[in-house]
Amino acid sequence: MDTVSISTLPNPATGIPLTTNISGLLTKGGVNLLNLVFILAGLFFFVNLILAGWDFMLSSGDAKKVAAASVRITNGFIGIIMTLTAFVVVRIITTMLGLGTIV
């Protein structure tokens, strides 16, 4: 009787092979979930910056609207910096754990 490793059996619903390791769980169907999350976060903050700029242009010199737009722009830049920092930290940790090929 032949034995088959569970990691080579396909999932009946998707046809994607079942995985038993962390790197396999983080990559589904050829899409790297960590990279996807960071890309979506970057797009969110980019759209936020565009909307903040739009609010700034439409403020018509109103001090409260200018201040609110400035705070939104500052928060957008802080968000981008935090996202990039998180991306670098995740890359370092996955490399240290030997999972560097998943990111």
Would you state the pLDDT for residue 67?
93
User: Is residue 21 included in any domain, yes or no?
Assistant: no
Would you state the pLDDT for residue 63?
92
Domain containing residue 84 = 28-102
40's tokens: 């979506």
User: Is residue 39 included in any domain, yes or no?
Assistant: yes
User: Is residue 16 included in any domain, yes or no?
Assistant: no
Distance CA 32, CA 27 (A): 5
Query: Domain tally for the chain?
Result: 1
Q: How far is CA 90 from CA 23, 35, 47, 49, 102, in A?
A: 13, 10, 24, 25, 11
Would you state the pLDDT for residue 35?
78
Q: What is the pLDDT along the chain (103 residues), one digit of tens a residue?
A: 455 455 555 556 666 655 555 555 555 555 677 778 888 888 998 899 899 989 989 988 889 999 999 999 999 899 889 888 988 898 888 888 877 554 4
Query: Locate tokens 């200018």: which residue?
Result: 66
